[in-house]
Amino acid sequence: MIDIMSFFRSKKSSKKTASQIAKERLKLVLIHDRSDCNAELLENIRKDIMDVLSKYMEIDMDALDIQISTTRLDDDDQEVPALYANIPIKTIKQINKDDDKKENKKEEKKEDKKETKKDKEEKNKEDKKEESKEDKKEDKVRKNFIFLCLNFFIFSMEYFFIFVRVNIINKL
């Protein structure tokens, strides 16, 4: 009798319906399918990144380059999707300099813990690319810029996690 009751209970407690499961599975599958070809997705990412960055700086919209490509993990032969972004900056808005620096340090610590090897790799590449462009600018601007770069990466990791998740599911 108890078994029967628990059977019904367990059925009720599993809240997800078949249609919800289907929808979630589809969404993940499509992220993977679309990652190498869909221009619309990239456009959306581009817009969102712009929205965040434009709070802090003025960006050269024409020279902006965002694309999804693949990188190889060090300990694994498999290729994983990765988001690359090259964002030239015109000017940087100066708001609450001191506060920003404090936040910067905190965020840096947090990020280091979270980061996987792949993320680190990409961050390094990104920083190098961006920095080479910024060489002529003053040190102050450079410090500020690195912070903003980090900010951008925290944001872009949102997208990253989706890709990583897809990848894990594929492996399974």
Partner 1 sequence: MGEVIVITSGKGGVGKTTTSANIGMGLSREGKKVVMIDADIGLRNLDVVMGLENRIVYDLVDVVEEKCKIKQALIKDKRCSNLYLLPSAQTKDKSAVEPEQMKKLCDELRKEFDFIIIDCPAGIEQGFKNAIAGADRAIVVTTPEVSAVRDADRIIGLLEANDLKSPTLIINRVRNDMVKRGEMMSIEDVMEILSVNLIGVVPDDEGIVVTTNQGEPIVASQKYIAGQAYRNIVHRILGEDVPILDLEKCNSFFSKLKRLITRCF
Footprint of partner 1 (CB under 8 A): 17-20, 22-23, 25-27, 29-30, 33-34, 37-38, 40
Residue 17 vs 91, nearer CB to partner 1: 17
Residue 19 vs 132, nearer CB to partner 1: 19
Least distance in Å: CB of 125 to partner 1?
Answer: 28
Residue 30 vs 169, nearer CB to partner 1: 30
Least distance in Å: CB of 86 to partner 1?
Answer: 24
Residue 162 dihedral angles phi and psi, to the nearest 5°: -60, -45
Least distance in Å: CB of 78 to partner 1?
Answer: 22
Let me know: does 57 contact 102? Beta carbons within 8 Å. no
Exposed e or buried b per residue across 120-132, where buried means at least 16 C-beta atoms within 10 angstroms of its C-beta: ebbbeebeeebee
Mode of pairing for the β-strands spanning 79-86 and 65-72: antiparallel
Residue 30 vs 63, nearer CB to partner 1: 30
Least distance in Å: CB of 34 to partner 1?
Answer: 7
Exposed e or buried b per residue across 79-118, where buried means at least 16 C-beta atoms within 10 angstroms of its C-beta: ebbbbebebebeebeeeeeeebeeebeeeeeebeeeeeeb
